Each structure stands twice: as structure tokens, then as C-alpha cells.
Amino acid sequence: MIAPPPALQGARTRLRPVRETDIPLLRRWYEDREVIHWLHASERPPVRSEREVRDRYGPDAVRENEARWIIETREGQAIGMVRLEAIDTDCGRAELAVIIGEKAFWGRGYGTDAITLAVGYGLQDLGLRRVHLLADADNTRAIRCYEKVGFVREGLLRAHRSRYGQPLDMVVMGVLREDWERQTRG
């Protein structure tokens, strides 16, 4: 079982555990069609209630193979959430998921900083050998962000998911511990 993740401080963001008071904010983000457009959530029915959000992402929705944080600015404004999912310390891998729910903070480096913190926690603190993710092939802003953090494109999943009923290709990206260490030293 993974211990509850610690708060992490970056250059632009702070990652902290999810609190009960975050539930209305998370609900607003997951109900916003513009926000979920880029998420796997866009192919599912929208979140309907605070209870549903609490059950999926709340502080008591403990999953033994997940680390989950709220992304805050240095001034303390909650702007998103980042998760390491399917953490498998035996096999040394996890999957990254991120949402920047406050659109005013899109494209301003907050996601890059938060992802750097989460990936560093996985590769260094948990001793994972790789972190991977799936990104919509047309999400150039996110792919550019992931590449800045050190992820490389590993493949393409054709028509892997649907967005509003239309097939959508997804890019598989990953970062290995040795690449991460080389990048952070350089």
C-alpha cells in the first residue's frame, strides 16, 4: 500500500492532499465542458453530484495504488489536480493524470511545475522506473508540456477513445528514471 503522499513545493506550485472543501471546486471543473474536452472524462457522462465527486476524488476516496494532490499556486489558489494512478512499486511504474480546472492558468507553466513535482515523487521517492501517460493526439499544448518535463513519445493508439462520439487517436508518452535523473542533473 502507498502511504498518503506528502505536500510538495515547486517553483510555481504547491501540491497538497485533497480536502473536503475542494469537492465543490472539483465538481465545477469536471462539469465544465471546455475543461473536460481534453480529458478521458469527455467520453463519459458528466459528473452529476458532489457525492459522485467525493466518491471518486475526495479525501476519503483512498485507493491504495494512487497518489493524488490538489495543485495550488504559491499564493494558495487551487487550480487543478494531479494524480499518479495504477502505482505498481513491484513493477516500477505508474500512470500520470492531470487537470488544470482554472482556465485562466492554462499555458502559463503551472501544469509543467506540478507534473514535475508528481513525476519526481514517483521516480525518486517511490523508486519507480517509469511514469507514462496517454494524451489526445490533437492536444499540442499538453504534449509540449509533457515533453518539457521529460516525457518522450512512445507510440500512437489509433481511435483509442472517443470525444463526443468521434474516434480519437492518443499518444503514449513515458519518462524513465535514468532519463529524468540525467535531465534534472543537466
Q: How many other β-carbons are positioned within 10 Å of the β-carbon of residue 15?
A: 24
Three-class secondary structure assignment of 7-23: CEECCCEEEECCCHHHH
pLDDT digits (tens, 9 = 90+) for 105-134: 999 999 999 999 999 999 999 999 999 999
Q: What is the mean pLDDT of the chain?
A: 91
Count of structural domains within the chain: 1
pLDDT digits (tens, 9 = 90+) for 21-69: 999 999 999 888 889 888 876 677 666 688 888 888 888 777 779 999 9
125 belongs to a structural domain: yes
Q: Does the pLDDT of residue 71 top 70, yes or no?
A: yes
Q: Is the dihedral of CA 99, 36, 42, 58 positive or negative?
A: positive
At 47, list the grid cell: 459528473
Q: Does the pLDDT of residue 91 top 90, yes or no?
A: yes
Residue from 78, 164, 83, 74 nearest 131 by CA = 83
pLDDT of residue 63: 75
Grouping H, G, I as helix, E, B as strand and the rest as coil, residue 158 is: strand
12 belongs to a structural domain: yes
146 belongs to a structural domain: no
142 belongs to a structural domain: no
pLDDT of residue 113: 97
Q: How many other β-carbons are positioned within 10 Å of the β-carbon of residue 30?
A: 22
Radius of gyration of the chain (CA): 16
pLDDT of residue 114: 98
3 belongs to a structural domain: no
Gap between the Cα atoms of 179 and 158, Å rounded:
27
149 belongs to a structural domain: no
Q: Is the dihedral of CA 179, 182, 185, 186 positive or negative?
A: negative
CB of 163 closer than 8 Å to CB of 44: no
pLDDT of residue 57: 82
- Provide the residue range defining the domain that includes 33: 8-131
CATH number assigned to the domain comprising residue 124: 3.40.630.30
Report the phi/psi class of residue 141: left, alpha or beta, with left for phi > 0 and alpha for psi in -120 to 50: alpha
Q: Does the pLDDT of residue 148 top 90, yes or no?
A: yes
pTM of the model as a whole? 0.93
177 belongs to a structural domain: no
Please return the burial class of 48, using the count of CB atoms within 10 Å of its CB with bins 0-12, 13-18 and 19+: exposed
Please return the burial class of 92, using the count of CB atoms within 10 Å of its CB with bins 0-12, 13-18 and 19+: middle
